[in-house]
Amino acid sequence: EVQLVESGGGVVRPGGSLRLSCAASGFTFDDYGMSWVRQAPGKGLEWVAGISWNGGTTGYADSVKGRFTISRDNAKKSLYLQMNSLRAEDTALYHCARILGYCSSTRCSGYLDLWGRGTPVTVSS
Amino acid sequence: EIVMTQSPATLSVSPGERAALSCRASQSVSSDLAWYQQKPGQAPRLLIYGASTRATGIPARFSGSGSGTEFTLTISSLQSEDFAVYYCQQYNNWPPWTFGQGTKVEIK
């Protein structure tokens, strides 16, 4: 079955760190760029970060730049999001999603054709 | 950053009626525009990409139109399973990709 399954969410104090993982199955993982998208409780979708198929191109939302790092391990068919210096406003359900499109050395362009159900992150003291 | 603005915030429609959802970009995104549907407790689902191409398995009652800064998602005859929140997303400018704030389609 073609699917993405996130894990690693939880409750963390402000200033803390968390590492999210996303396991891919049912498709050739290293054929695709990947992305993280979050959704705060009762709010809309916010794109967080994206990465090309080989990890050579990454991009971040301004709200997380310098605090979050997206990475991938193609041998393990896994995507990661290292989140540092967490803030209350980072509280959200974090989805990983597959990019259908292309990535050059400087940018990616594509839409999100496969989504995971998400892993919840709560930042609270 | 390109700002995506959706209207209306909520659309009340009777089953069988037509619904038109609007999405406006703060600058041209060409046809690099996608639409997603999200039901409560579920992940978003891709409906439309390239402004007007239906994704695999999406019924023909869903159609997208527009280019540049003005886009429309039309549902020709609303079915019970279509009541959900709909988001547009531009992927022309990166980073960041940006979503609209969503339009909730509810039963009238």
Q: Give Cα A75 distance to the centre of its chain.
A: 18
Q: What pLDDT digit, counting tens, does each position of B80-96 carry?
A: 999 999 999 999 999 99
Residue A68 has pLDDT above 90, yes or no: yes
The C-alpha atoms of residue B43 and residue B55 are separated, in whole angstroms, by: 16
Cβ-based contacts of B43 with chain A (< 8 Å) = 95, 115-118
| Mean pLDDT value across residues A52-61 | 95
Which pLDDT belongs to residue A102? 87
Residue B57 has pLDDT above 90, yes or no: yes
Which pLDDT belongs to residue A123? 98
Residue A106 has pLDDT above 90, yes or no: no
Q: Which amino acid is at B86?
A: Y
Q: What's the token pair of residue A88?
A: 């209350």
- Indicate yes or no: CB of B49 within 8 angstroms of CB of A100: yes
The C-alpha atoms of residue A37 and residue B36 are separated, in whole angstroms, by: 13
Residue to test with chain A: of B10, B97, B99, B104, most A Cβ within 10 A: B97
Phi, psi of A31, rounded to the nearest 5 degrees? -90, -10
Residue A103 has pLDDT above 90, yes or no: no
Q: DSSP secondary-structure letter at B104?
A: E
Residue among A45, A107, A113 whose CB faces B46 most closely = A113
Q: Which residues contact A80 (CB under 8 A, 6 or more apart)?
A: A19, A20, A21, A22, A70, A71, A72, A73
* A3 reaches B (C-beta below 8 A): no
Q: For chain B, list residues whose CB is within 8 angstroms of any CB belonging to chain A.
A: 1, 32, 34, 36, 38, 42-46, 49, 55, 85, 87, 89, 91-92, 94-102
The C-alpha atoms of residue B102 and residue B7 are separated, in whole angstroms, by: 8
Residue A104 has pLDDT above 90, yes or no: no
Average pLDDT of every residue of chain A: 96
Residue B48 has pLDDT above 90, yes or no: yes
CA distance A45 to chain B (A): 6
* A44 reaches B (C-beta below 8 A): yes
- Indicate yes or no: CB of B96 within 8 angstroms of CB of A100: no
The C-alpha atoms of residue A73 and residue A89 are separated, in whole angstroms, by: 28
CA distance A114 to chain B (A): 7
Q: What pLDDT digit, counting tens, does each position of B2-43 carry?
A: 999 999 999 999 999 999 999 999 999 999 999 999 999 999
Q: What pLDDT digit, counting tens, does each position of A15-56 carry?
A: 999 999 999 999 999 999 999 999 999 999 999 999 999 999
Q: Are the C-beta atoms of B30 and B91 separated by less than 8 Å? A: no
DSSP string, A13-81: -TT--EEEEEEEESS-GGGSEEEEEEE-TT--EEEEEEE-TTSS-EEE-TTTTTTEEEEEEGGGTEEEE
- Indicate yes or no: CB of B43 within 8 angstroms of CB of A116: yes
Q: What percent of chain A has pLDDT over 90?
A: 94
Residue A90 has pLDDT above 90, yes or no: yes
The C-alpha atoms of residue A82 and residue A70 are separated, in whole angstroms, by: 6
Q: Return residues 71-90 of A near B (CB < 8 Å).
A: none
Which pLDDT belongs to residue B108? 87
Q: Give Cα B40 distance to the centre of its chain.
A: 16
* A40 reaches B (C-beta below 8 A): no
Examine residue B95 and say whether the peptide bond preceding it is cis (omega within 30 degrees of 0).
yes
